[in-house]
């Protein structure tokens, strides 16, 4: 056992999903060690505790796992459950924490951010309930990071994590587990695998792009190995430390080959993709792109078709920037609808309290009370279950949904890597003008209300303010502006655009065309393009 003197390192404040920095920053001497020790200290130490540990396989994952194991042993942990080769998808890590009742876990991932030595790395602590640490815990971690004076580590050889077995790391038992088994067992309980198996046996075709990220082994084991999809169904299935040089964000821009295939003449019946750590998803049908907001609404409206949700939903929760399509489903079902800040941790209280069953974010994250994280492959399996039971295509399911509920045309415009000072000044200026905007007309739309979203947690009573600027228009439209907390270089400004339409003759418009008045109004209000020096967004989803 070795105690190493250290001193605080600036900037170790966890964001909405833990601490994310450029990989080279995490590789600096003492950086990882300081943050890990701060986590251990903030949760009251590790003496006698059991820890779940794994990551998405990105560059530095293997080295970081070995360091964390030695630190856990030196801090008195009794046992550590580690994914084989250090691999665990984020939803699988949550499933392991919950199934094995461990004292929380450390997940190594920067989610959808690019990887490699010149990419990004991340680390977050998940609580024993399986979800991301709430703000009280992340604040405690940050406080300890500013006061740290030493960390504890075991001087020992690295462990071979390639074989599932138990091995000792000093006084601590390390159990190397199959990263897929516990997760796959959970999926079998939720979905009608026989119906999905029959779907594939009947000639149903699918393409799943794992984007050389962590979901590949899970998708192959379940879709191809268990449900009978052809071997060619899962592509880019081998996780690579740099995700094959790609950007593992499942959207029409970064998963363009899959998107182009699904919009082309040789498209299979169904297409899907997942991100770096397996918690996000993109859903497509032949000639049809399903926005994450619509996906949440469709899944909620049809969840009863899956065995795990046959008893109905207790409630539906969405992040504030997500469209209000899910609210319309909740109203029809007669169940509560919750609007939370961005960040999956805000759903945790609702799920633990039994107030919600399905949750979703517009950033392609959807999940339920089966774990305490969003879950990309879960969403894909629920879609397959619904398709198998309804016997309809993705486009037919969408058309029927819009006919019943109306359509919330929706798009997110991302301005990535912009000048941080310019983006912050734009947001600050708009915030200062919120009270004077109602009643004014811009690009033909009249502002009915404007605010800076604040959330009062109905479970613990906590308040989270400053969560995004909202512009409500009298023409049943809405815009939200928010600075993202997941990037590591410059700033990313996200602009969320939404307009509701229930005219049966106007449900098949191009989304960008339908939203053009809202886009023009935001530009007229903010002068966004000139202030950021951009002709348009880098990504439209």
* Residue 66: Cβ-neighbour burial (10 angstroms; 0-12, 13-18, 19+): middle
Count Cβ atoms within 10 A of the Cβ of residue 155 and give its class: 0-12 exposed, 13-18 middle, 19 or more buried.
exposed
What is the number of other CB atoms lying within 10 angstroms of the CB of residue 491?
Answer: 21
- Report residue 118 as tokens: 């010149």
Catalytic residue (choose from 89, 94, 109, 111): 111
- The residue behind tokens 């655009």 is 497
- Count CB atoms within 10 A of the CB of residue 370: 22
Identify the residue whose tokens are 């709430």.
Answer: 134
CA–CA distance, 314 with 359 (Å, rounded to integer): 11
What is the rounded distance in angstroms from the CA atom of residue 95 to the CA atom of residue 129?
10
Active-site annotation holds for 111: yes
CB atoms within 10 A of CB 280: 28
261 and 207 Cβ atoms separated by less than 8 Å: yes
User: What b/e string do you get for 15-36 counting C-beta neighbours within 10 Å, with b at 16 or more?
Assistant: ebbbbbbbbebbbeeebbbbbb
On whether the CB atoms of residues 99 and 263 are closer than 8 A, the answer is no
Catalytic residue list: 111
């Amino acid at each position: 056992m070795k105690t190493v003197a250290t001193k605080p390192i600036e900037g170790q404040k966890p964001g909405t999903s833990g601490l994310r920095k450029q990989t080279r920053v995490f590789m600096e001497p003492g950086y990882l060690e300081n943050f890990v020790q701060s986590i251990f200290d903030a949760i009251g130490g590790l003496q006698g505790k059991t820890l779940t540990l794994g990551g998405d396989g990105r560059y530095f994952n293997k080295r970081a796992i070995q360091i964390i194991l030695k630190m856990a042993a030196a801090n008195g942990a009794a046992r550590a459950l580690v994914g084989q080769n250090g691999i665990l998808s984020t939803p699988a890590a949550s499933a392991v924490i919950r199934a094995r009742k461990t004292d929380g876990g450390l997940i190594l991932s920067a989610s959808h951010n690019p990887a490699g030595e010149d990419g990004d790395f991340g680390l977050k602590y998940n609580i024993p309930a399986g979800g991301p640490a709430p703000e009280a815990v992340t604040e405690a971690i940050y406080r300890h990071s500013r006061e740290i004076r030493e960390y504890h580590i075991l001087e020992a050889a690295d462990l071979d994590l390639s074989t599932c077995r138990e091995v000792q790391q000093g006084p601590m038992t390390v159990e190397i587990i199959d990263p897929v088994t516990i997760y796959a067992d959970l999926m079998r309980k939720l979905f009608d695998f026989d119906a999905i198996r029959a779907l594939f046996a009947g000639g149903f075709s699918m393409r799943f792009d794992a984007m050389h990220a962590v979901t590949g082994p899970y998708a192959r084991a379940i879709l191809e190995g268990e449900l009978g999809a052809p071997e060619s169904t899962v592509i880019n299935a081998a996780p690579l430390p740099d995700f094959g040089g790609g950007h593992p964000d499942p959207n029409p821009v970064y998963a363009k080959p899959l998107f182009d295939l699904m919009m082309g003449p040789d498209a299979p019946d169904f297409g899907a993709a997942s991100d770096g750590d397996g918690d996000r998803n993109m859903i497509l049908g032949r000639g049809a792109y399903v926005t994450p907001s619509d996906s949440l609404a469709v899944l909620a409206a049809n969840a009863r078709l899956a065995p795990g949700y046959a008893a109905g939903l207790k409630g539906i929760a969405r992040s504030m920037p997500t469209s209000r399509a899910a609210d319309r489903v909740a109203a029809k079902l007669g169940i509560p609808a919750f609007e939370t800040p961005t960040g999956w941790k805000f759903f945790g209280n609702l799920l633990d309290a039994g107030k919600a069953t399905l949750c979703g974010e517009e950033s392609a994250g959807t999940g339920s009370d089966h774990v305490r994280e969003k879950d990309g492959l879960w969403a894909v399996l629920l879609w397959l279950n619904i398709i198998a039971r309804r016997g309809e295509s993705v486009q037919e399911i969408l058309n029927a949904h819009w006919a019943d509920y109306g359509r919330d045309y929706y798009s997110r415009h991302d301005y990535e890597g912009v000048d941080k000072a310019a983006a912050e000044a734009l947001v600050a200026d708009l915030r200062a003008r919120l009270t004077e905007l109602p009643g004014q007309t811009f690009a033909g739309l009249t502002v009915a209300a404007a605010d800076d979203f604040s959330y009062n947690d109905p479970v613990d009573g906590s308040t989270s303010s400053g969560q995004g600027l909202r512009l409500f228009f009298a023409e049943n439209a809405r815009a939200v502006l928010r600075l993202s907390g997941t990037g590591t270089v410059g700033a990313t400004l996200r602009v969320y655009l939404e307009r509701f339409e229930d005219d049966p003759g106007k449900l098949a418009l191009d989304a960008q065309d339908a939203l053009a008045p809202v886009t023009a109004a935001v530009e007229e209000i903010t002068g966004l393009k000139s202030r950021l020096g951009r002709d348009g967004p880098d990504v439209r989803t």
